[in-house]
Amino acid sequence: MGIDGFARLGAVAVAAMLLAGACSGASTDATGTPDPDEATGAPVGPARPAVPEGPVDEATARAFETIAREIGGPSPGFAATASPEIADVRGAWVLADLLRIASGTIIGDAAERQAEVLTGLELEPQTAWIDLTNQLLAWDIPEPPGYLAVKRETLELVEPQWAVLFDEADAAVDWREVSWGGVLIDDAPLGGGCSRGCIPALDDPAVTDAAGGDWYPDDRVVFGIVVGGEARAYPKNIMEVHEMVNDTLGGRRLGIPYCTLCGSAEAFFTDDVTGATVTPLLLRTSGLLRRSNKIMYDIESGSYFDTFEGQAVSGPLQDAGVVLERTQLSVTTWADWKATHPETTIVAEDGGIGRTYDLDPLGDRDANGPIFPIGDVDDRLGAQTRVLGVAVDDRVVAFPVAEVEAALDDGDEVVVDGVAVTSGAEGAIEIRVEGDLVVHQESFWFAWSQFNPSTELWRAPG
């Protein structure tokens, strides 16, 4: 957070105090009863609070206008402002955003207490922001009118450069789902190397032949890509550090983001983008998330992208309707990749930038499940079960990786609705639709299912 952000946190504190005084009389009436426990029949957890219809009341509207103005102003100025009453559960979204940037402080404590009043939840201080946001998403509590102005001022305390996203009135963004990922924006030009608390992209990494890649253990994961007959492996440990690579392969320019939180790496062509005035695009990590999925952006145009789907959601590239073309990225072991592609190159041990990379830089960070809000999880699989997903026309199907591998090892058929998974050379996974090879993704189940809620799910027989 910059110096100006720290200086303005006093205004956030006053905003939280205003909310603390204003929310105390909020209603927690429910629209219905919670689902009963199957064993006892007793209600489990709080019911969804009643959500007022239509515009918020005048006092609440004034409250949010005041908070947005004063958070962004040079001084709090609340002393002369009457404390308006906020009894609308939609205001919990503002509290969630305050919790995100000020958890564990007097500001966060005030926001946490009032969120409990508004929602009926019992929040634990260590996980209050995540639990509150998850529940608001699961309940599908609408955002209040004026929410964007408050959210903008709150998040820009952390990173003023996010203004380019908030400036887009028609951005295809559900602002409730957007949160701070804990890092600042990577605004480095080609060549990278940011030093301001961002996740630095790796541009044009040095590579070696397969023999030169003997530093990387055979059983470790690589992300393999083939373009124009040229193959390259990107070691997972290096991708976990950079989360974004811009590279040239087979004469084409690629942007390769890796969302560690949703377990998904993608490979997008960035050199032939209809609607872009400057190509190739230069993709960077914004520091923002959407339901635990990183939001990337093109530094050339300032357009933000949904990383999972490759769709521009703001800026001139959104106006041009840009959806980036992807090519297949295979998740496999280094041993299998180089056996399948003996002429492959692999990113050099130091990435070409003289850096040392731990073989397991994230450790057990995700051992207890998603660490950022995701809302409800489709309970057909565990949230972090790895799946292969394919979306072609009206067919959207997911296949649990472990079950697919076991079935193929046993010689069983893996097919649903004309979508078939097979083993290619050296066991590489291929997916075909009506016989035609198609690009597929690998990710955690929660990510695939939340962006493809109508997905079919193949399960191994028995």
Largest CA distance in the chain: 75
| Terminal Cα distance for the chain, rounded | 53
Question: What does the domain layout of the chain look like in residue ranges?
Answer: 3-158, 161-374, 386-457
Measured CA distances, 458 to 109, 397, 413, 417 (Å): 45, 7, 11, 10
Six-digit token pair at 436? 């035609």
Question: Which of the residue ranges 108-122, 271-285, 431-445 would you say has the lowest mean pLDDT?
Answer: 108-122
Q: Are 283 and 263 in contact (CB under 8 A)?
A: no
Lookup: tokens for 401? 């990786």
- Residue 334, judged by CB atoms within 10 A of its CB (0-12, 13-18, 19+), counts as buried
pLDDT of amino acid 244: 98
Of the pLDDT bands very low, low, confident and very high (cuts 50, 70, 90), residue 72 is low
Of 422, 405, 412, the closest CA to residue 461 belongs to: 412
- At residue 145 the predicted structure's pLDDT band, cuts being 50, 70 and 90, is confident
Q: Are 241 and 260 in contact (CB under 8 A)?
A: no
Q: Calculate the CA 333 to chain-centre distance.
A: 25
For all residues of the chain together, what is the average pLDDT?
Answer: 86
Half-sphere exposure of 374 (CA within 13 A, CB side): 22
- pLDDT tens-place string over residues 203-245: 999 999 999 999 999 999 999 999 999 999 999 999 999 999 9
Within its chain, how far is the Cα of 100 from the centroid? 15
> With 60 as the cut, is the pLDDT of residue 296 above it?
yes
State the Cα–Cα distance between residues 453 and 167, nearest whole angstrom.
29
Q: Rounded to whole angstroms, what are the CA distances from 80 to 70, 76, 225, 445?
A: 12, 10, 61, 51
Query: Structure tokens of 17?
Result: 């105090």
**Cα–Cα distance for residue pair 231/233, rounded to 1 Å:** 7
pLDDT at 61: 73
Mean pLDDT of 395-403: 96
Average pLDDT of 304-312? 94
Amino acid 196: pLDDT = 84
Looking at residue 25, what is its pLDDT?
A: 37
Task: Record the tokens describing residue 1, joined without a space.
Answer: 């957070």
Is residue 234 within 8 A of residue 225, CB to CB? The reply is: yes
Which of 15-19, 73-77, 280-284 holds the top average pLDDT? Answer: 280-284
What tokens does 10 get? 């006093």
Q: Residue 188 is encoded by which pair of tokens?
A: 């480095």
What DSSP designation does 37 have? P
| Region 316-329 average pLDDT | 96
* Residue 304 β-bridge partners: 297
**Residue 282 phi, psi (nearest 5):** -120, 105
Please list the residues that pair with 399 across neighbouring strands. Answer: 388
Per-residue pLDDT, averaged over 355-379, amounts to 93
Q: Which residue has the tokens 């959601």?
A: 313
The C-alpha R_g of the chain, in whole angstroms, comes to 24
CB 271 within 8 A of CB 249: no
Rounded-to-integer distance, Cα 85 and Cα 95, Å: 15
pLDDT at position 127 is: 93
In sequence order, which residues have a C-beta less than 8 Å from that of residue 333 and are 6 or more positions away?
A: 218, 219, 220, 221, 222
Q: 173, 165 in Cβ contact below 8 A?
A: yes
Cα(180)–Cα(155) distance, integer angstroms:
7
Report how far residue 270's alpha carbon sits from residue 201's, in angstroms, rounded to the nearest whole number.
15
Tokens representing 357? 């990379």
How far is Cα 421 from Cα 390, in angstroms, rounded to an integer?
10
